[in-house]
Structures are given as structure tokens and as C-alpha cells.
Chain A
């Protein structure tokens, strides 16, 4: 059972006079078994939220708290956050030349579990998860993200989520750039973790399309660095029909 609590989180990028505030007081609580969709227009700070929680050095926390099961996440290094149970599926996973997928996965699993996984069961787990994500076995011997198509990168992110079994998974625009088949395959992977009941999901997306496959329990509308409206799945339908225009306009007025 994990609880991620974000309270009045303020985050900026850049330094000194160039510093720009991106997150302006975010409040959010995600529990195991829950799926939260964060929806918002481009530039609203959705990805900043994801990367700030994961600890990317580019972002400076200027206020607020983030805790996981009461532990101060902001005090942890990037790898400590992952070992504490946080996982970020990235929108643009980077290439790591010369490091094979199988080597990477096993190193990560060893780090997360604190000991090397038993070789036989590990190989079996990797193989079956790859099959479910419709990934070719040859994939494991390729270098991490090198020459991967957009869809392959996203499957690889979800494969990691499946194998590392985080308490809280943040999916940053995992749906972007996917065709319908890939979207379905990736969504099914996320749903397998949800059905196991142990993961809390923070699903960041610009579009409602993925919500047809992954049904959220809560929907948060994110505009201009904060949550401006919250509701159930019906809120996603409203956004599908009306878009973000009314929220953006309100935010602009509020800023003026």
C-alpha cells in the first residue's frame, strides 16, 4: 500500500533572473489501486510535475512537499526515489549506447530489489512480459532505446514498469505518438499492473484517447501549473467534447 502526497508544490526552471515558475502550488494524492489522469494543454506543466517527482536536476523545488508513505521524497536522490517505489515512464526515453536491454533491466531489477533476481525466474518473467507486450525476443539484445521506434520506446517503458513493480507509476504522455495497436498493447500492460492492485497510477496525457483503454478513477485538469478542476471519469468526457479553451481563458483572466 503506497500513498504519494503532493502538497502546494512550487517548481521553477532556470536560475537567477532567468528562473521561471512552472508549477504554482500543486496538490494531489495518489494511493495504490487508484488511477489518476492529469489532463491539460501543452505547456501547462504536466511533464514538469512528472520530472520533479522523479527528481530531474533541471527542476528546482521552490516550495511545498512530496511524500511517499510519509517519507520525504524531495530529500531523496533520483535512484533512492525509484528504490522507494516511484516509477516514471518517460515521454522521450534516452538512448544509452552499448548497454543492452537485458543488461539494463537486470541491473535495474537488482537495484530495486536489493539483490540479483534468480536467473531462471527472471528470464522467464522478462520473456513472458515481452510476449504480452508483443515485443520480439531479439529486442533484449539491442541497445537501450537505440534506434527504437516511438512505439518500441513506449513498450520498453511499460516493460520496465511491469518488471520493476513500482508502488506509484507516473506515465508521462505514454500515449503520444502511438498508433491504435500500440496504444492498445501499452494500455493492456498498464491494466495488468492495475489489476494486480498494488500500483497507483498517475497518467499524464494531453488527449482523452488513452482513457478509453485505461479507465481513470479521478481526472484532474491541469492548467498553468496547477490543478484547476477535479472530478471523475465524466470530466474526461467533458474535455473530449469541449477541450481546454474555457479553462485556459479563465487562467488567463486570473493571471491578468
Chain B
């Protein structure tokens, strides 16, 4: 079965503030603070804040799991998720199970453990759903990666987090604390078999530049839920690259808030879902202070019966967030029949005094013009298709900025696409 919004359907729109508002008019753009509990969202539909697409303007947060109630699967935040498969996590049974850690810590980086009562944890952004609250509670403290103020790391901080095959749920909470004006890349490299729910909070100090890469190369059968939060300091730059390739079910919620003006956040993501895989990425960028920017680019491909992806991109520009610039883009490439991609961008603008705001979403098959262009250079259709898909992913993967990791991920993707003939000696330098 092919759903209507999985094939051929292409929706695209972009809104510029100038079109929405008169110059200097701080118009309220509308909307609804009620969370949509209905599922009556047309396939591919999206709003500019006018219709509820499931993004309550004020999102409920709490550290108490019971404050959320037990999800049934009808709630807006859970309606896309296969409840049966995520149930082991939502049951919330405490456990001592751990992932196996392999760490590479450059000079200037400290890894510590704090207990549940530590004041650091009190100050973190709160969980946005029951699973995240359970995670905070069951993790019983946190692992903390500290990057000293003004540190310039000579290589990425890498945490290899491998599942050991335990049936018990692994609960984890990680805090990455980057001091002012430091520059750091942190890689979370997930692999192996696990049922894992992990909270990750990145505190980006003023003027710091932080890249957080999270790779989900789980073994088949793995289930991974997690809430990622970034608090971006004044004039700081935060980049997140999410790469979801493995596991049975991955559901990640990434939130960004700004602690001061001048912050910049870039959220990149790639996902590749084969049959039986469910990959869900939910984003929430909250512009509440002036002169910050956000840019979201998520690209996914689906192949095989039952392949399923969900992308929800919520951006809110509050009245105080003048001078905001934001854009979000989601592209889904449906390689075979029987796959389904849901894409719901949602933009709520509450001030007209912004630089620009827009979004676009498109789900479809191959771009015929790209294939024609490549074939017109003698490249056979099959190779052209693989080149286009490979490029589709590389477009995002190249934002990681860590060559070895990029090469490894592209090799994984290549393996899933089948080898590209005649390209074994790539890349070719022409300098």
C-alpha cells in the first residue's frame, strides 16, 4: 500500500515575514495554543500557525512522568509512534543495565558523573513527554562532559555507546557543558543491540561553537528514544547532526532554546529507513530572544515495504524574538512502493519584526531532471539513481566536518544502496 503522501506528492512553500506583515508591524500571527488532539491533518498538510498541527504554543514540560499520563498512541506527540514497539521504554521499569562506553577525550575535556541531587540537573530544560521524564528519573544522575572555557579541541570528543544485547531498558542522561568561547565537536556513536532511552542536554556557553553529532547505527532489533536539548548562549553557535541508519525504532526529540541574543542553531539530519524500521525525528526551536537564527535541514530516504519515517519541525518565534531568521527544510525520497513518510513543518510567528522565516517540505520520487542530466553525460540510469541518492545523503553528512566519520557513514549508506560501479577510487582531488 502506498499512502498518498509517499509518492509523487510534493508540497513546497516558503513564507517571508515581509509577505505576512507590514513593515514594523508587530502583528500577532494568530494562533492556537491548544494542542491538536485530532488526527485530521491532511497528508502533507502544513500550516503557518493557522491550523493546529500539533504544536501547542506552550509546551507542557515536567520532570514528573505521571504529570503526562500514560500515552495511548492517540496523543499528538505519540500518534505517529508504533506504541507496541516503544512500550518497553514507556513501561519505565528501573534497571541497572548500561551501554558499553568507549571514550576518546581530547585535552581540555573532562568526563564526570553527578548524582541525582546535583544542582546542574535542576537547571536543565525539562522533559517534554513521559518517556523523557522517565528517563530523567531512572537515569539517577548524569554523565557530564565538560569542555573548559576557551578550549580549542584538537579532535572530536567521541563517546562510543554500544548496546550489549540486554533485554532490560538502559536509561541514560548526558550533559555536555561547553565553556564560553570554546570550540568543540562531540560525537555520540550508538551501535549494538539495546533498548535505550537517553536524555542529552548541551549547554553552549556564550560565544562557544559546538557541534553535536549523534549517530544511530544500532543493530536490528534496537529501540532508541531520547530527548536532546540545546541551550545556546549569547553569540554562540550550535550545530547538531543526527544520523539515523540502524535500529528497529528510533524516536528522537531535539529542542533548541536560546539563552541570549545572537545565537545560531543549525539542525541537520539524515535518516534511511528500510522495511520494518520506524524513524521519527521531532524538532522544536523556540525563539524567545532577539537576533538569533535557526536553520533546519533533514533529509531521509525510504525503501521497502513498511519503511516508515516521521519528521515534525516546529519553530516558534515569540513576540520578544525580533530580528529572528529561520528556515527549515525536510526532503524525503521514496525509493520503493509501500513506504510512508510523514512530514509536518509548523511555524508560529508572533512578531513581524524578523529577518525571515520559511519552511519547505517535499516527499517524492527521484527528480527526473537530475536523472536526465546525469544520463545525458553517459551515466546509466541505475548508476545515476545511486549517485543521486548518495548525493542526497552526502549533502547533509558533509556538515559533520569529521572526515573519518563521514567516510564511514557514506560507506554504510553505499553498502545499503549497493556498490557504485567505477567509483572505487573516489574521491579524486583536483588541486
Contact = CB atoms under 8 A, between A and B. Distances in A.
Interface of A: 54-57, 77-79, 81-83, 87-88, 90, 93-100, 102-104, 106-108, 110-112, 116, 119, 122-123, 126-127, 130, 137, 140-141, 143-144, 160, 164
Contact of A82 (B376, B427, B428): B376
Interface stretch (B136-144, B244-252, B364-372): B364-372
Label chain A's interface by main secondary structure: helix
Interface string B356-396: 00000000000111101111111111011001101111111
B422 interface: yes
A68 to B, nearest CB: 14
A156 to B, nearest CB: 11
A111 B379 contact: yes
A96 B370 CA distance: 6
A83 B394 CA distance: 27
B112 interface: no
Interface of B: 367-370, 372-381, 383-384, 387-388, 390-398, 422-423, 425-431
Contact of B383 (A54, A57, A107, A112): A107
Contact of A99 (B376, B381, B390): B390
Contacts, number: 120
Contacts of A164: 377-378
A216 B317 CA distance: 59
B427 A103 contact: yes
B430 A119 contact: no
A54 B376 contact: yes
A98 B428 contact: no
A56 B375 CA distance: 10
Q: Which 6 A-B pairs have the closest CB atoms?
A: A98-B391, A98-B395, A98-B394, A99-B391, A82-B378, A108-B377
Nearest to A95: B370
Nearest to B389: A98
B378 A83 contact: yes
Contacts of A77: 375, 381
A111 B377 contact: yes
A79 B398 CA distance: 29
Contact of B387 (A55, A56, A87, A99): A99
A96 B391 contact: yes
Best-surrounded residue of B376, B380, B394, B395 (most CB of chain A within 10 A) = B376
A123 B377 contact: no
Nearest to B393: A98
Contacts of A90: 373, 376
A137 B430 CA distance: 7
Contacts of A104: 374, 377, 387
B422 A110 contact: yes
A99 B388 contact: yes
Contacts of B384: 79
A21 to B, nearest CB: 22
Contact of A123 (B387, B394, B428): B428
A86 to B, nearest CB: 8
Contacts of B428: 102-103, 106, 119, 122-123
Best-surrounded residue of A79, A82, A95, A144 (most CB of chain B within 10 A) = A79
B377 to A, nearest CB: 4
A88 B422 contact: no
A9 B288 CA distance: 63
A103 B374 CA distance: 12
Contacts of A54: 376
Contacts of A79: 375-381, 384
A103 B368 contact: no
A82 B383 CA distance: 15
A103 B423 contact: yes
A111 B380 contact: yes
Contact of B429 (A57, A82, A94, A123): A123
